[in-house]
Amino acid sequence: MATPSLNLHWLCDLDEDRAKRVLGPYSTVGTTDSFDTILNDPRVQAVAIATPAATHFPLAMAALDAGKHVLVEKPLTSALADGEKLVHAAEERGLVLMCDHTYCYTSAVQELRRMVSSGEVGDVQFIDSVRINLGLVQPDVDVLWDLAPHDVAILDYLLPDGVCVEAVASHGADPIGHGMACVAYLTLRLSTGAMAHVHVNWLSPVKIRTMVIGGSNRTVVWDDLNPSQRLAVYDRGVERTGLEQLAADDRKQMRISYRTGDMVAPALREQEALLSMVGEFVASITEGRTAVTDGWSGLRVMRVLEAAAKSLRRDGAFVTVGENVGEDE
């Protein structure tokens, strides 16, 4: 393992031969097709679960019941009620439950968080995010549950304290007859009145991963596929002047001015996001503290996704986050 504080004891796969091929012939790490073998090993203090979403809940709950700390890949579970059970079970047992929202540990997103929390960006006025690529079409979840967790987790990480997603409207399409949405658009209404928009797509021949965060002071463009300039900070925007002197019915007379300042590309420290994420998992265990992307973070993301799924069933109507998201009558 690349993390000095960790010793890898086991690799578990239903196909044990595949696990052995992954490790190679000289590895001292054990392989097994039995999860119980891992849970019964007293050397094992923590487990990482990277399996289909429908299996996250039973595997994670079994690990918590065995007294193990748990790192789960996104989404936390495939059902909100199961996610809530995991979070409460971890708290009752005093164990760390963490979701691998890996993008939150990239240097670009951490710099974005600093700029938003410090006030450098100003009030967040809009967010536009695009995550499109050709595949991989998943057999068990639609494109919302496959790709949008990344963007929603980043939003959850970036937004200032007290600002949250209040409602979601989503539209999706299945032009290839897959049986689930392969293209989707989410409109997120924030508690401040600002809007965020997320586009996810399995069918695009062009790979794009960008996010634009528009603030009252600065606008930041994150291009994850541009290693030489992942962030571009623009001192450009629209400002209103003279508004305070106008009566309510004369707002059309307000003056608009355009700020056209410089663009700067801040230098970022290159870091392996997965390594940083695993390091956070270790630190949260050894320091006895909450992880940055803990189970509650995973739940907040799931609440947005479940509201988005309900909006799809309602032909794109806005659905309040936290509304009973069971099957519509």
d(CA 299, CA 296): 5
Cα 152–Cα 157–Cα 161 angle in degrees, nearest 5 = 115
Do 163 and 47 sit in the same domain of this protein? no
Mean pLDDT for 39-64 is 96
Residue 5, pLDDT > 60, answer yes
Residue 257, pLDDT > 80, answer no
Q: Where residue 329 falls among pLDDT bands split at 50, 70, 90? A: very low
Length of the chain: 329
Q: CA torsion 273→221→211→177, rounded to 10°? A: -110
Q: What percent of the chain has pLDDT over 90?
A: 79
Do 255 and 146 sit in the same domain of this protein? yes
Q: Is 328 among the domain residues?
A: no
Do 28 and 159 sit in the same domain of this protein? no
Contact 133, 280 (CB under 8 A): no
Q: Where residue 65 falls among pLDDT bands split at 50, 70, 90? A: very high
Residue 89, pLDDT > 50, answer yes
Domain that holds residue 191: 103-272+306-313
Do 93 and 174 sit in the same domain of this protein? no
d(CA 179, CA 142): 9
Residue 249, pLDDT > 80, answer no
Residue 114, pLDDT > 70, answer yes
Residue 254, pLDDT > 70, answer no
Residue 255, pLDDT > 90, answer no
Q: 123 versus 260: which is more confidently predicted?
A: 123
Using N-to-C axis directions, what is the helix angle for 143-158 and 107-117, rounded to 10°? 50
Residue 245, pLDDT > 60, answer no
CATH code assigned at 84 = 3.40.50.720
Q: How far is CA 35 from CA 15, 38, 85, 255, 323, in A?
A: 12, 5, 20, 66, 35
Q: Is 35 among the domain residues?
A: yes
CATH code assigned at 245 = 3.30.360.10
Do 37 and 180 sit in the same domain of this protein? no
Q: What percent of the chain has pLDDT over 70?
A: 92
Split into its structural domains, the chain has a count of: 2
Residue 198, pLDDT > 90, answer yes
Residue 2, pLDDT > 70, answer no
Cα–Cα nearest to 102, from 318, 281, 302: 281
- Cα Dmax for the chain: 78
Cα 307–Cα 312–Cα 313 angle in degrees, nearest 5 = 100
Q: How far is CA 175 from CA 55, 171, 181, 294, 317, in A?
A: 28, 13, 8, 36, 21
What pLDDT is stored for residue 45 in this prediction?
97
What pLDDT is stored for residue 244 in this prediction?
56
Residue 246, pLDDT > 60, answer no
What pLDDT is stored for residue 327 in this prediction?
47
Do 166 and 197 sit in the same domain of this protein? yes
Mean pLDDT for 121-146 is 93
Mean pLDDT for 90-118 is 96
Residue 99, pLDDT > 90, answer yes
Mean pLDDT for 29-52 is 96
What pLDDT is stored for residue 252 in this prediction?
58
Mean pLDDT for 135-145 is 89
Do 160 and 19 sit in the same domain of this protein? no
What pLDDT is stored for residue 139 in this prediction?
87
Lowest mean pLDDT among 97-111, 236-250, 307-321: 236-250
Do 118 and 202 sit in the same domain of this protein? yes
Do 222 and 118 sit in the same domain of this protein? yes
Q: 176 versus 140: which is more confidently predicted?
A: 176
Do 67 and 164 sit in the same domain of this protein? no
pTM value is 0.88
Residue 304, pLDDT > 60, answer yes
Q: Where residue 63 falls among pLDDT bands split at 50, 70, 90? A: very high
Mean pLDDT for 216-243 is 87
What pLDDT is stored for residue 128 in this prediction?
98
